[in-house]
A and B are shown apart, each in its own frame.
Chain A
Amino acid sequence: MKKTVIIGSVLYDPKVAVIWEIISDFFSENGLPVDTVFYTNYELLVGALLDGHVDIAWNSPLAWLGSQRRSGGHCRAIAMRDTDRDRVSYWVVKANSGFQDVSDLRGKTVAVGAKDSPQATLIPLGYLDRQGLLPGKDVQVKRFDLLVGKHGDHIGGELEAFRSLHGGEVAACAMIDLNWQTWTQDGTINPNEYVVLATTERFDHCVFTVRSDFPADLEEKWLRVLFSMSYDNPKHQEMMDMEGLKQWLPARTSGFGPLASAVNTFGFFDEVVS
């Protein structure tokens, strides 16, 4: 009997389950059956991966760091979306604010997403820290802790942060470049009224993660099927549009530096286990 590969994923919106149905069907058609198990937060997902309940975890970047931390470095990142690479986050301000660079935020209040959001909280605050603005001391931070545990997958906190900027409650807000692009196109943000004050270092986002004992031959077969998904296939295109990618790529771990730095600076894992 063929081994069924069990994939674990955090699910915050039932519509996302459609993505995994399409992926599962494609793997079955290619003779490599997979089952998907959904978790309500990344803490549970990482635990399930390390306890062997799932073979492959679709990890957020913070969950990747958490997996490595909790396993003592015994996990491997094996695949990611093309759009997971080289992301940046922005500090956005009102165009008429008169701010020239982040040093102008000294003494001001800035808005961020949920406390465990890499893109809307940890990396942007880490950037400010490296620019000499210690969060909580040199700048006050207004945090929007929506759906904590989902590592900012849910954009609610990020959107609330922008709304607080829009409402004049804060001087700046953080958001990932992809949301800036989407929101300036769909009318959520008027691009004439807001500008990007600063851009963080590039960072990478989600990764499929396995334990180090995941069989190499099975991993190779699984990746071969994954990488054969094509944007030219209408069914795959539906999934890829929902998941925000054009192509699956091999994973790399060189893009987690800014997040790892922020996590260390703010003692994130000292406060919560992820």
Chain B
Amino acid sequence: MEMEKTTWNLRIVTTGREPATAYMRKHQFTVGVPLQFDPEYPHITALEYALGALAADIVGGLQVISHRRRLKLDNVEAVLSGELNNPLTYLGVVGETGHPGLERVNVTVYVSSTGSEEEIGLIWEEMLQKSPLVNTLKRAVKLDLVMKVVI
């Protein structure tokens, strides 16, 4: 028997200039415009959600795997910075070249644990192999992922 494909289904709705609402399972969240340059913009943008999802995938993935390996990670924190190829193209600046897509994403993950660096390193490697978003984005952008063990 052929295995049925697993899909994730979301519904996203927006009305006028209101932020979009994404519905999935029994949950929902709102998303602002694709991206914004105004620090006072009151909503989370689609780009920020995407970057946040990547970082959450990494830190959450580390916790899931470490739990399976019975190694306690006390604290996992990721610091992420993303860079577009040319943000001016998003604004339609005449004469600019390039594209508004992500060019580079740097993520530094700080892990504190009583485990050895070798044990944590194995969990990190397994996370990299199993992360859905890392494995998607590494094919599209320059993804620089660094893990640091802190006491």
Contact = CB atoms under 8 A, between A and B. Distances in A.
Interface of A: 11, 14-15, 17-18, 21, 37-41, 44, 48, 238
B2 interface: no
A50 to B, nearest CB: 15
Contacts of B40: 238
Contacts of B110: none
B46 interface: no
A24 to B, nearest CB: 13
B88 A11 contact: yes
Contacts, number: 35
Interface stretch (B22-30, B89-97, B112-120, B126-134): B89-97
B95 A39 contact: yes
Interface in B54-102: 87-88, 90-96
A44 B95 contact: yes
B38 interface: yes
Contacts of B92: 37-38
9 contacts: A14-B87, A14-B91, A17-B37, A17-B91, A18-B37, A37-B94, A38-B88, A39-B94, A44-B94
Contacts of B87: 14
Given A15-B37, A21-B38, A238-B40, A48 B90 contact: no
B91 A41 contact: no
A40 B88 contact: yes
A48 B37 contact: no
Contacts of B96: 40
Main secondary structure of the interface of A (DSSP, over half): helix
B39 to A, nearest CB: 8
A35 to B, nearest CB: 11
Given A11-B88, A38-B88, A40-B88, A18 B38 contact: yes
Interface string B32-54: 00000110100000000000000
Contacts of A39: 93-95
Contacts of B90: 14
Nearest to A43: B95
Contacts of A11: 88, 91, 93
Contacts of B95: 39-41, 44
B94 A38 contact: yes
Contacts of A40: 88, 93-96
B98 to A, nearest CB: 11
A14 B88 contact: yes
A178 to B, nearest CB: 23
Contacts of A15: 37-38
A14 B93 CA distance: 10
Given A11-B91, A18-B37, A40-B88, 11 more contacts: A11-B88, A11-B93, A17-B91, A21-B38, A37-B92, A37-B94, A38-B94, A39-B95, A40-B93, A44-B94, A44-B95
A167 to B, nearest CB: 29
Contacts of B93: 11, 38-40
Nearest to A45: B94
Contacts of A37: 92, 94
